[in-house]
Amino acid sequence: MPRWGMVIDLDKCTGCQACVVACRVENNVPFAGSEQAEMGRAIFWIEVLSIVEGEYPNVRTRFIPRPCMQCDHPPCTAVCPTGATYKNDEGLVAQIYPRCIGCRYCTNACPYTVKFFNWFAPQWPVEMRNFNPDVARRPVGVVEKCTFCHHRLQKAKEQVKIEGRKLREEDYIPACVQTCPTKAMYFGDLDDPESTVSHLVKSTRTFRLLEDLGTEPKVYYLSEGEWYGGRKA
Amino acid sequence: MADARHSHEPDLALFQPILQTGKSFYLVAGALGAVAAWSIFAWLYQLTHGLGATGLTRPIYWGLYITNFVFFIGISHAGTLISAILRLCHAEWRRAITRSAEVITVLVLFFGVGNVILDLGRPDRALYVIRHGNLRSPLLWDVMSITMYLTASTIYLYLPMIPDIALLRDRVAKRRRLYRLLALGWTGTEEQHRRLERAISIMAILVIPIAVSVHTVVSFVFAMTIQPGWHSTIFGPYFVIGAIFSGIAALIIAMGIIRRAYNLGHYLRLVHFNNLGLLLLAMSLLWFYFTFSEYLTTYYGGEPREMAVFYAKLSGKYAPFFWAMIVTNFVIPLVILSNKKTRTIAGTIVASATVTVGMWLERLTIVVPSLANPRLPYARGLYQPSWVEWSMMAGFFATFILLYMFFTKVFPIVSIWEIREGREKGVALAQKRIESYHPPHPTGGETHSGRGGA
């Protein structure tokens, strides 16, 4: 079974937010509105975090796109009282929306704070109601988060079955990776020694967020610099 | 009709609340009922709008509701645990206070559970915890432990009520069918007494480990995560101590009100308040010891993510709550209760009132500051409880007091038969027990078994 992982080259990231937009459209992520967003209630399956360094006039902003880390040892799944969030056979941390009771224990147990809650019934501006039929829209009161575009894997598997061949690396790519204009994001099987991602993670520039917690995130970052929360120094 | 309205009736005062209801009762009940009704409106508002009606946000996903959940479950340790321990220790002074303590436990548990349901995004799916239960989740441990506690403490409340209900069945004109049903044909024979005492003893022993498990697993909900400020091995006993602490405080307040409202000064005496006050003082010291250990360990370790939470509490945004907690949980009770002159009925009630506030603040400062300071410094929402949350909190407190008041109107809040038993047999039993502590009298030929507890 493949271990799906993502590599994000921060030295190539321009902070353009194309991944955020692509994700929102692909996954039918609702719009919170400016007032609710101000309160911190906006939902971002992937979010470009910005870190401002230095004092004016010597200021530098660095960007770090943050999807769900898809941990191999996820702290969020064990605590779920109904098994609505769990690690599936593909190694991805999945959510069963119809089973979620909305207790938000998983959102609190996640050290990366990447799980989001539907405070109200989801809303979209009129122009954004051209929904992706492959992704279920979430009702009020449940938790949601990045799935590594798991629906694309399902589709790819069906396609591969019809064509009677094996799954290739380019068959399954999440929307954010596909969109990235500077090609800063990579996706593939971390257990396949020939894959691009497994070559990239061997780089000396590699780090993961909060690596010392033992959560084994499957999102790797590449950077020459120092990053908050990462082990790289 | 034998209606207990004879001046020579013994313990008439204990029947009085059931027989007569004054104007002030209706006034207070009406006011509390209005608050409860308002909270139903707030609840309907939340149900129709979603949890967005609260002030919760990311990353502060839990707030007042979970604080109140922990607080109410903590209060529940008043009753059953204290009453069970006092019963097992044959503390004669327990007789007048056990019932009022046990009622707190049973009633308040519903409000603890109610707060969790209130906090769910999908209350319609609450029973999924049984249908799809994940045994690895500490929340499921809570479900099991609290269910067990509610069952055990309800039985433990009911058993010692049987002889009293039989008394009411025979003496009171109202609600005869209810009393007859609940009295289970009690006639007060020797055999019935023997069985009842045995059942009460078994329940008293059973209920102690269950009570300890309840607040231990409540603490595990926090401690099992790796979040700064929550991931602590001390949390289990720390929560249990805090629970007993707040439980005693709630009991003293309840006793103070009952004493005043129903003129039970002869039954709830200075000695009861004094003894419970000493127990409260001991718990206050224990609570401070745990708090000190917890925070010193964090501070000495100096781990940056832990320190962010530490400073948020000691000098940051939550400092007013934290220091108010230290004053109300430790400083004030210590000053009042360590001095015999101030350890009066009024004094213990004041100390209990501050402890109740302090323990609520403790729950708040455990839940919120940790969530407000997650390991990655990016998610930083602000939490300001909404009117819905405050209304629900007021409603839960009001409804709890209301139900407690109704209980005192249907059943005796001081156990009549136990008071009588104490009066008739207590002195002899205590004397026999004390004699058994000492070597037999040199001149007397009588031998003593040497076993304590008559």
- How far apart CA B165 and CA B102 sit, in angstroms, is 16
Among B57, B122, B126, the residue with its CB nearest the CB of A40 is B57
Note the pLDDT tens digit of each residue in B286-303.
Answer: 999 999 999 999 999 999
Which residue is it, tokens 């700064």?
B228
On chain A, the residues whose CB falls within 8 A of the CB of B131 are 82
Taking a C-beta distance cutoff of 8 angstroms, is the pair B162, B145 a contact? no
Residue with tokens 């992706």: A132
The rounded Cα B161 to chain-centroid distance in angstroms is 19
Q: Is the pLDDT of residue B310 over 50?
A: yes
Query: What is the three-class DSSP state of A5?
Result: strand
Structure confidence at residue B445 (pLDDT)? 53
Q: Residue B337, Cα to own-chain centre: how many angstroms?
A: 20
What's the pLDDT tens digit per position in B380-405?
Answer: 778 999 999 999 999 999 999 999 99
pLDDT score at B447? 53
Cα B422 from Cα B52, distance rounded (Å): 55
Contact A15/B at CB under 8 A: no
With beta carbons under 8 A apart, name residues in chain A contacting B226: 75, 109, 111, 213
pLDDT at res. B4? 43
Question: Is any Cβ of chain B less than 8 angstroms from the Cβ of A69?
Answer: no
Kindly report the nearest CA distance between residue A101 and chain B, in angstroms. Answer: 5
- Are the C-beta atoms of A182 and A193 separated by less than 8 Å? no
Given an 8 Å threshold on Cβ–Cβ distance, is B376 in contact with A209? yes
Which chain B positions have a beta carbon within 8 Å of A120's beta carbon?
49-50, 52
Q: Testing the interface with B: which of A62, A77, A112, A119 to mutate, by most B Cβ within 10 A? A: A119
Question: Quick count: other Cβ atoms within 10 Å of Cβ B440?
Answer: 13
CB of B127 less than 8 A from some CB of A:
no
Q: What is the mean pLDDT of residues B13-17?
A: 89
Query: Which residues in chain B are closer than 8 Å to A116, comparing Cβ atoms?
Result: 58
Identify all chain B residues contacting A79, using CB atoms and an 8 Å cutoff.
136-139, 224-225
Instruction: Name the minimum distance, in Å, from the CA of B172 to any CA of chain A.
Output: 47
Closest residue to B62, CB basis, from A84, A104, A210: A104
Q: Does B177 touch chain A (CB under 8 A)?
A: no
φ, ψ at A47 (rounded to 5°) = -135, 140
Q: Tokens for B374, please give them.
A: 């997650």
Q: What is the pTM of this model?
A: 0.93
Q: Cβ(B228)–Cβ(B375) under 8 Å?
A: yes
pLDDT in the model for residue B8:
58
Closest-CA residue of chain A to B380: A40
| Residue B426 pLDDT class (50, 70, 90 cuts) | confident
Q: Min CA distance, A26 vs chain B (Å)? A: 23
Q: For residues A207 and A222, what is the distance between their CA atoms, to the nearest angstrom? A: 6
Closest in B61, B140, B227 to A81, CB measured? B140
**From the CA of B49, how many Å to the nearest CA of chain A?**
6
Q: For B314-340, what is each residue's pLDDT tens digit?
A: 999 999 999 999 999 999 999 999 999
With CB atoms and an 8 Å threshold, state whether A105 touches B221: yes
Specify whether the backbone of A73 is left (phi greater than 0), alpha (psi in -120 to 50) or beta: beta
Nearest to B71 by CA among B417, B376, B360: B360
Q: What is the pLDDT of residue B297?
A: 95
Q: Residue B276: pLDDT above 70? A: yes
Neighbouring-strand partners of residue A116: A144
Q: Which of A41, A103, A143 sits opposite B139 (nearest CB)?
A: A103
Query: Which among B335, B330, B328 has a CA at the least distance from the CA of B353?
Result: B328
B146-B227-B61 Cα angle (round to 5): 70
Spatial CA neighbour of B289 closest among B321, B329, B252: B329
* Residue A143, min C-alpha distance to chain B (Å): 9
| DSSP one-letter string for A71-123 | -SS-HHHHT-TTS-EEE-TTS-EEE-GGG-----HHHHH-TT---EE--SS--
Q: Is the minimum CB–CB distance between B381 and chain A shorter than 8 Å?
A: yes
Question: Hey, are the CB atoms on B116 and A103 less than 8 Å from each other?
Answer: yes
Structure confidence at residue A226 (pLDDT): 63
CA separation for the pair B5, B26 (Å, rounded)? 22
- Which residue's structure tokens are 């009161």? A141
ipTM for the complex shown: 0.91
Interface mutation target, options B113, B119, B218, B378, chain A, most CBs of A under 10 Å: B378
- Helices B387-410 and B98-119, packing angle to 10 deg: 150
Instruction: Report pLDDT for B179.
Output: 94
For A43, name the nearest residue in chain B, comparing CA atoms only: B58
Least confident of A63-67, A165-169, B361-365, B406-410: A165-169
Q: How confident is the prediction along chain A (233 residues), in pLDDT tens digits per residue? A: 889 999 999 999 999 999 999 999 999 999 999 999 999 999 999 999 988 877 888 888 889 999 999 999 999 999 999 999 999 998 999 999 999 999 999 999 999 999 999 999 999 999 989 999 999 999 999 999 999 999 999 999 999 999 999 988 889 999 999 999 999 999 999 999 999 999 999 999 999 999 999 999 999 999 986 655 554 43
Q: Is B144 on the interface with A (CB under 8 A)?
A: no
- Compute the distance between CA of residue B114 and CA of residue B118 in angstroms, rounded to an integer: 6
